[in-house]
Amino acid sequence: MKIEKTEKSPVDLQVEVTLQPEDFWDEYQDKLQQSRRNAQIKGFRKGHVPMRLIKKWYGKNILWDIIYKKSSEALTSFLQQEQIPLYGDPILAGITPEQLDLDQSRDYSFRYLMWYMPQRPLKGLDASTEVPMYKVEIDDDYIAKKWEALRMEHGQDVEVDTPIDVGTKVRLALTEIVEPDEKRPPHTSEMRIVSWDNVTDEFKERIFGKRKGDVLDRVDVYGIFRNLSEDGVRYFVLNIKDDTKAKEVGRWFRAEITEVTQRQPAAVDEGLFKAVFGEEEAIATEEEALQTLRERYEQHFQSKAEGLAIEELYKILRQANSDLPRPVFENPPKDEEEKKRREEFLKKFVEEYFVHLLLTKYKVDLTKEEVIQAVEQHILSKYLVFSNEEFMNIFNKIIQDRDAVRYIVRPVMVRKALKQALADVKVVEQPITAQEFEALLQAPTPSQEEE
């Protein structure tokens, strides 16, 4: 057996495996005899079928199975020995079962075409590369506002005898205004406004300053909310589920204010501490609660700032290594679809090549917990799961598929490698207030804006 490697380009590789008669001919003859002994064909006694018929009926399949398996095993062993990192699977070229000679022993050559990623140094990993890292400054006013927001979140709505404004919630009893000649009872419904963000300015002008018990005459129910369709008004405001009735009910209603409530913050006590921070945190005073809240925001912002720095480093390194070699196609694309497929292939190849170099330089090991967490997050983001049983069924299927797990944990490994790479470049701190950083995190990315 002979194996010859040819580098057709920096990333295009050809490996030719040549099998000689001593590698397969004896086994081929043995398999033919075995097939003859076991053959049960009408008109012949078992074991007495002429060999020429055995060759005719089974010979090509037998010989092809033998030499194809031996060449594949030889290729796999060679690639492992040479430690050649491949992109995709090798493609067999230049030989088919129809070319086999069943009566005369001779050499057979299997030519495998493949793309590989030779090792080369990554550019941009030195102090000349500057990566911005936000340093979030959290002041007392920010923590105080967050604490008050948490108290409001865990507080309760209580009835108040105050004029309606943006800080109140209201309940309205709606009674349709029906003309006397319609001869039908008015439609009635009840609605509650808990947020004024989507309420029209016209309706706010009418209701602000009113109190419980006041009545608004001739209210257009389709003019209360800004972004609610007519079907939405009928369904959510008027509570009409029947299409026939929806056609009968008009748009003008009398609205009586039956309830005015206001959110009252939760009392600062042990119950609030446990509700906000969990049972395991031993917090006894408001000062301790504020300090714990600050520490949690510091950790949260540090993680987010590091994540943004890692994303920026990835872009910088990817740009610095944009000259990575690409596969070369011998023939021009046949049509536009083929051209697009090739462009997408080249794009993925270069991206994978870059990731390969990154993970080769920075050795990354994942703990069992990190792998499990990555798979769980993948399931939650990709699948519609209705029960724990469904979740576990999907989880068990994925965790037993090595290729699937490798694909899922790849981004986690890249992130850990880039985190190590931050130590090899110059990290430039950029001070930013907590309020500014929060707004930055909430701002849409360019890709989101395009969508």
> CB–CB of 151/268 below 8 Å?
yes
Q: Which residues contact 320 (CB under 8 A, 6 or more apart)?
A: 122, 123, 124, 129
Each domain of the chain, given as residue ranges in start order, spans 2-116, 130-137+298-450, 156-264
pLDDT digits (tens, 9 = 90+) for 6-63: 998 999 999 999 999 999 999 999 999 998 888 887 778 887 888 888 888 888 999 9
Average pLDDT, whole number, for the chain?
92
| pLDDT tens-digit profile, the chain (451 residues) | 999 999 989 999 999 999 999 999 999 999 999 988 888 877 788 878 888 888 888 889 999 999 999 999 999 999 999 988 999 899 998 788 888 888 888 999 999 999 999 999 999 999 999 999 999 999 999 999 999 999 999 999 999 999 999 999 999 999 999 988 888 899 999 999 999 999 999 999 999 999 999 999 999 999 999 999 999 999 999 999 887 777 889 999 999 999 999 999 999 999 999 999 998 889 999 999 999 999 999 999 999 999 999 999 999 999 999 999 999 887 888 899 999 999 999 999 999 999 999 999 999 999 999 999 999 999 999 998 889 999 999 999 999 999 999 999 999 999 999 999 999 999 999 999 999 999 999 987 554 444 4
Alpha-carbon gap, residue 164 to 212, rounded angstroms: 9
Q: What is the 3-state secondary structure (H, E, C) of the chain?
A: CEEEEEECCCCEEEEEEEECHHHHHHHHHHHHHHHHHHCCCCCCCCCCCCHHHHHHHHHHHHHHHHHHHHHHHHHHHHHHHHCCCEEEEEEEECCCHHHCCCCCCCCEEEEEEEEECCCCCCCCCCCCCEEEEEEEECCHHHHHHHHHHHHHHCCEEEECCCCCCCCEEEEEEEEECCCHHHCCCCCEEEEEECCCCCECHHHHHHHCCCCCCCEEEEEEHHHCECCCCHHHHHHHHCCCCCHHHHHHCCCEEEEEEEEEEEEECCCCCHHHHHHHHCCCCCCCCHHHHHHHHHHHHHHHHHHHHHHHHHHHHHHHHHHHCCCCCCCCCCCCCCCHHHHHHHHHHHHHHHHHHHHHHHHHHCCCCCCHHHHHHHHHHHHHHHCCCCCHHHHHHHHHHHHCCHHHHHHHHHHHHHHHHHHHHHHHCEEEEEEEEHHHHHHHHHCCCHHHHHC
pLDDT of residue 448: 44
pLDDT of residue 451: 44
pLDDT digits (tens, 9 = 90+) for 312-363: 999 999 999 999 999 988 788 889 999 999 999 999 999 999 999 999 999 9
Length of the chain counted residue by residue? 451
pTM: 0.76
Beta bridge partners of 18: 2, 109
Alpha-carbon gap, residue 394 to 405, rounded angstroms: 12
Record: fold of 130-137+298-450: Trigger factor, domain 2 (1.10.3120)
> CB–CB of 418/358 below 8 Å?
yes
**Torsion from C-alpha of 50, 52, 56, 60, nearest 10 degrees:** 110
Alpha-carbon gap, residue 43 to 16, rounded angstroms: 44
Q: Which residues contact 364 (CB under 8 A, 6 or more apart)?
A: 413, 416, 417, 420
pLDDT digits (tens, 9 = 90+) for 63-74: 999 999 999 999
Other C-beta atoms closer than 10 Å to the C-beta of 41 total: 12
Tokens coding 102: 């069943």
Backbone angles phi, psi at 316, to 5 degrees: -65, -50
Q: Class of the 2-116 domain?
A: alpha beta
Alpha-carbon gap, residue 198 to 196, rounded angstroms: 6
Alpha-carbon gap, residue 231 to 243, rounded angstroms: 10
Residue labelled with tokens 């001739």: 218
Q: Would you give the end-to-end CA distance of the chain in angstroms? A: 57
Alpha-carbon gap, residue 375 to 307, rounded angstroms: 20
Alpha-carbon gap, residue 6 to 185, rounded angstroms: 90
> CB–CB of 359/414 below 8 Å?
yes
Nearest to 19 by CA among 75, 59, 61: 75
Beta bridge partners of 273: none
pLDDT of residue 333: 85
Record: fold of 156-264: Chitinase A; domain 3 (3.10.50)
Beta bridge partners of 110: 17
